[in-house]
Amino acid sequence: MNKIYDFLRSVKLALILFISILISCVTGVMFFPDQQAKAMIFSSLWFNSLLILLVVNIGFCFFSRVWRRKITPVSLGMILFHLSFVLIFAGIVYNSLFYFNGAIRLSEGETLSNTVPQSYDLAEWGRFFNHARLKGDTTLVKLHTHYKVNSADKGVANQILVGDGNDKKEGFVYITNHMDYNGFRYFRDRDGFSLLIILYDKHGRERYGAFVPLQSLKQKDGTYLYTSGTAVRSGSFPFPQDPLKPLLNLQISYSPDPQKERAGHVYFQVWPFREGHHVQGEKIIAKGEAALREKFTAGDYFLSVHEVRYWASMNVRYDPGLLIILTSFWIGLGGMILTTIARLARSRKRQDTG
């Protein structure tokens, strides 16, 4: 037992851990891109074990030296500094058990329930997160571009309405400003265009209409292609969608007007829809460009884009351990300052008396 205790409180172990973490960090940032480094090193079990062992070592190493000893400004500063590591670790563990992190995506005017898992593109939570905490719903009222605060351009701002019944809160979420509702924080993440596509029959009667969110694919020259498809490439989708039976396979790209907001041209590509068949094997029915509200002929049907709206994706976060972690940073800093000042004062006193 004593051997384990001596091992855990050894300064040599602290230095070995410091150096191991240092080497791992340098390797991670020098030889791998950010995401790969995160997956291979910073999120790995062995690296996090090193961090945990360091915190345990700091706890043992330091408190075994100050236990039952006289508290001086130097030792108090050191206690606070080292205690902050233990508190940060405790905050991280506590947070990992109770957190919630979801990505909610809405088009302007759309409302989604906060309580339903289907409302989130991605959602993860801690083992003890209480789902009853998720209440009410979220509405994206409007997306503002070039949103100004005290004449400073804050870029894109999401005007959102969050809450339950009469307890609703409205606010603007932009890059340096989140909105807090019952401990859940809304952060801006992504945005894009959403087009209202109308299908007409050959007599010009409206058959169907739906908002279709577009992907924003970054091109080599830094510009964006706004198109249907997946997050990595453009592609087609069956149209109309549920609950109607699909009639066409449709691929659309949107070219925004650089001068006028919510205006521009749409490029259509249309294939016949056949269950189980991919568009690659089909002969294209029609392709071409149309302005907003202009009808585009697609075989026996007409298509048109009636309206351009924005969609916005926001991160919804509940981090109950955050306060502990952020407060611990200041405790650690306070400890550093206290111990440094006390050491300087002590050495000056020694010089004066010596």
Partner 1 sequence: MNPEFLFFWTAVIFYGISTLCYIIGLVSRKEKFFSVGALLAFIGVIPHIASVALRWIEGGVLPFIEVSESITAGVMVAMIVFLIVQSSVKRIKAIGIFILPVNFILLSWAGTLMKEISGQLPASLQSYWLWVHIIAASTGFSLVLIAAGMGLLFLLKEKYSKGFYEKLPELSRLDDLSYRYVAGGFIMLGVMIISGAFWSNQVKGSYWNWDSVEVWSLVCWLVYGIYLHLRITIGWRNRKLAWYALLSLLVMVVSYWGIPFVAENFHTGFRIEH
Q: Give the footprint of partner 1 on residues 57-116 (CB under 8 A).
A: none
Candidates 257, 330, 345, 349; binder of partner 1 (CB under 8 A) is: 330
Candidates 329, 345, 346, 349; binder of partner 1 (CB under 8 A) is: 329
Instruction: Write the DSSP assignment of 256-292 as a string of letters.
Output: E-SSSTT-EEEEEEEEE--TT--GGGSPP-EEEEEET
Instruction: Write the DSSP assignment of 133-183 as a string of letters.
Output: G--SEEEEEEEESS-EETTEE---EEEEEEEETTEEEEEEEBTTB-EEETT
Q: Name the residue among 195, 204, 194 with its Cα closest to residue 313.
A: 194
| x-or-dash string of contact with partner 1, 141-170, rule CB under 8 A | -----------xxxxx--------------
337 binds partner 1 (CB under 8 A): yes
- What the block records as the tokens of 290 is 């149309």
Q: Shortest gap between Cβ of 117 and partner 1 (angstroms)? A: 20
Q: Where are the alpha helices (DSSP H) in the chain?
A: 2-8, 11-31, 34-37, 45-66, 73-98, 322-353
| Sequence-distant (≥ 6) Cβ neighbours of residue 37 within 8 angstroms | 28, 29, 31
| x-or-dash string of contact with partner 1, 173-192, rule CB under 8 A | -xxx-x------x-xxxxxx
262 binds partner 1 (CB under 8 A): no
| Sequence-distant (≥ 6) Cβ neighbours of residue 134 within 8 angstroms | 100, 114, 115, 184
Nearer to partner 1, 70 or 283 (CB): 70
Nearer to partner 1, 48 or 278 (CB): 48
128: helix, coil or strand? coil
| Sequence-distant (≥ 6) Cβ neighbours of residue 44 within 8 angstroms | none
323 binds partner 1 (CB under 8 A): no
303 binds partner 1 (CB under 8 A): no
132 binds partner 1 (CB under 8 A): no
Q: Shortest gap between Cβ of 109 and partner 1 (angstroms)? A: 20
9 binds partner 1 (CB under 8 A): no
Candidates 21, 56, 76, 123; binder of partner 1 (CB under 8 A) is: 21
Candidates 208, 224, 237, 267; binder of partner 1 (CB under 8 A) is: 224
Candidates 52, 168, 340, 346; binder of partner 1 (CB under 8 A) is: 340
Of 159-167, 201-209, 266-274, 328-336, which part binds partner 1 (CB under 8 A)? 328-336
Candidates 122, 244, 291, 326; binder of partner 1 (CB under 8 A) is: 326
264 binds partner 1 (CB under 8 A): no
Q: Shortest gap between Cβ of 79 and partner 1 (angstroms)? A: 14
From residue 341, alpha-carbon distances to 75, 78, 337, 350, 353 in Å are 12, 12, 6, 14, 18
Phi, psi for residue 156 in degrees, rounded to 5: -85, 135
CA gyration radius, the chain: 29
Binding residues for partner 1 (CB under 8 A) = 11, 14-15, 18-19, 21-22, 25-26, 28-29, 34, 37-38, 42-43, 152-156, 174-176, 178, 185, 187-192, 216, 218, 224, 315, 317, 319, 322, 325-326, 329-330, 332-333, 336-337, 340, 343-344, 347
